[in-house]
Amino acid sequence: MLWFHVCNPVRMKQIDPALIPRGICLAFAGDLRKPPRSTRHSTNETVYCALFDIELAFLSQRRRWIRRRHQRELATQTTLLKRKKDSKNNRNNERPLARSVLAFVGAFAFQMLSWGIFVVFLFPQYFSSLRSLPGPKGDHWLMGQYPRIMREPTGVPMIEWINTIPHEGIIRYRGLFNQERLLITSPKALAEVLVTHNYDFKKPGAVRSSIGRILGIGVLLAEGDDHKVQRKNLMPAFAFRHVKDLYPLFWSKACEGVQAITDAVHAEAAKSATEGLTDPEKAALGPNTAVLEIGNWASRTTLDIIGMAGMGRDFGAIRDPANPLNQTYQHVFKPSRQAQVLAVLGLLLPGNLVHHLPLQRNGDIAKAANTIRATCRELIREKKEKLERKQLTDIDILSVALESGCFTEDNLVDQMMTFLAAGHETTASAMMWAIYCLCLNPEVQSRLRLEIRERLPTPGTPGDITALDIDHMPYLNAVCNEVLRYYSPVPMTLREAAVDTVIDGNKVPKGTRIMLCPWATNKDTSLWGADAGRFNPDRWLPSRDGDAAETKKTANSGGATSNYAFMTFLHGPRSCIGQGFAKAEFACILASWIGRFEFSLKNKEEYDEKNMTIKGGVTARPSKGLHVYVKVVDGCMTGWLAGPNWAGFLTSEVCPSRVFWIAFGAWERIEEQGVGNNSTYSF
């Protein structure tokens, strides 16, 4: 009621201001015609109380009681409103923190986006010190040449660039997210990367963490001083005086593989005859013919050899394909989609994060690594026990490493993992490509078989071979060298500039990826001549024309203009430590196989090299394996050619005509020996 009087201008004129309490006057700040300024201040609460007391004076007792009850309710509501306001104020105080976090995240995202745009698009195009170097055209706007490299067979784009793009030793191309890559081609640039400043260029961390899970961080992946110490202490195991003593071991294991393959051919031939299966082409080749996937046999043979020569243990993989270690490597090196995904993620994310992603591939690799490490530790313990008993007389790699005393047990495990994986996988890959090349060139296969049968003993007969026997087989060595040139087991390898450096006069910033591609360099027409893209073992043989010394020099280099033209084993301190070991092993296995078997491709489309799909990775292999017809060559049941006379041999499949002999200059020797006698010749 009093509010009515106070707020009514007419009634206010009839009231004496002196009769109104001082608190009310203060609330109106001396002007009774104005309403209270705010109900949020303590002065207004005083006004409410004064007005309420004045009003109560005019009310009856009952109405006073009602008013007091309303007053209590009003006080309760006021308290609730106050709490609500306090809560709202607290929320308002918290909002600046949330806004600050949001602002920080937005600023960080903006900075990252700006940095990404600069690194991916602006820097390679406008600011890079390497932008003036020649390179291929037709880059993808985001991924550069990466889609083409992944789509086409391994090394094919690099071979095209080397032979078609005018350059002076370095080709620049863009990879994933337009990251700059340098393809090194000239001997001078290769010498700087591999020899002169080799420790300025290390293997990228993503590569080391990826393949290190299976290969271990041994001499292959070690860097800096660690690599120097490891290589120095392992070199005695790969010295020629040691490798030459391993030739009998290489030959005996190769012959064991030959016998196992022969048994498999006979078993399949018998099965086909029993079940009435007919393959017109296989039938045309003869009864002792079967279809085999040759890569599996190559891996099992080389695994047994590295087991014996590297650790003194016969794994028995040749006779037992279910051998756990063999199965482990077969599974790990099998190409898969997840392996490709992990390889791409390894270029973008930290290795430890990629390796712990919940993918089946990661689980398989972890399980395989545990199996391999357990095998290596067992071998090391056995060797240590022999060493303690002073019974260690072996000359294998592990024994040499133990006797040096420079390796801890964990270091030894890493070294053994390196030699087990790299030592057998690379040679097995070389064997697959050798068989493929000889299938494409049957005349080379026949010519090689002739030399093998003439100079080496029959598998399974008493007698070993020596390093001298292999060295005196020029065509075998020529074929081996040409296979290693034409299809290098390791098609490419990466380096990363560890410091700001210079390559062939070009400034290379720290972190730049360097591509070394043996598949491209080994077919560079500027280094090998116009026929660099043709499989031709004769390039490694001395010519009958010209100066003898000069032709011998040309034969040793394959006719290349520089020793850096042959990049299969690299060069310098980071070159393959087991180069001599691998070449000897490769020659022995190839000689035993070609001497006993004749190979031809099952898939006729693969006779065109463009149709051969290749699995990328540490080593290059046919992605679907290499399925071939394997024929036991006539006379191989009891020897190379046990019992046939020359007349029969001259009309056989092995040597169908006199022209064949004349072509190889052997007819004079045949006439001297006499044709038609009943002598036995062991080829």
Q: How far is CA 302 from CA 7, 59, 446, in A?
A: 108, 114, 24
* Alpha carbons 105 and 227: distance in angstroms, whole number: 44
Helix (H) / strand (E) containing 629? strand 627-632
Spatial CA neighbour of 593 closest among 146, 233, 261, 236: 261
Instruction: Judge whether 563 and 217 are in contact, CB under 8 Å.
Output: no
- What ranges in 30-179 are assigned the alpha helix state H? 42-57, 61-117, 146-151, 156-164
Q: Give the β-pairing of 614-615 and 506-508.
A: unpaired
* Alpha carbons 121 and 358: distance in angstroms, whole number: 33
* Alpha carbons 273 and 285: distance in angstroms, whole number: 14
The structure tokens 């010295």 sit at: 239
* Alpha carbons 125 and 128: distance in angstroms, whole number: 7
| 562 Cβ contact partners less than 8 Å away, ≥ 6 residues apart | 187, 527
49 is in an annotated binding site: no
Instruction: Judge whether 210 and 346 are in contact, CB under 8 Å.
Output: yes
DSSP 644: -
* Alpha carbons 436 and 472: distance in angstroms, whole number: 25
For residue 208, the SS3 value is helix
* Alpha carbons 172 and 134: distance in angstroms, whole number: 6
* Alpha carbons 563 and 187: distance in angstroms, whole number: 8
What angle do the packed helices 324-332 and 360-388 form, to 10 degrees?
Answer: 140
* Alpha carbons 578 and 576: distance in angstroms, whole number: 5
| 3-state DSSP of 145-172 | CHHHHHHCCCCHHHHHHHHHCCCCCEEE
What angle do the packed helices 474-486 and 579-596 form, to 10 degrees?
Answer: 110
Produce one character per residue of 360-399: b if its CB has 16 or more CB atoms within 10 Å, e if not. ebbebbeebbebbbebbeebbeebeebeeeeebebebbbb
DSSP 539: G
Spatial CA neighbour of 581 closest among 247, 87, 177, 327: 247
| 3-state DSSP of 407-463 | CCHHHHHHHHHHHHHHHHHHHHHHHHHHHHHHHHCHHHHHHHHHHHHHHCCCCCCCC
| Residues annotated within a binding site for heme | 576
| Residues annotated within a binding site | 576
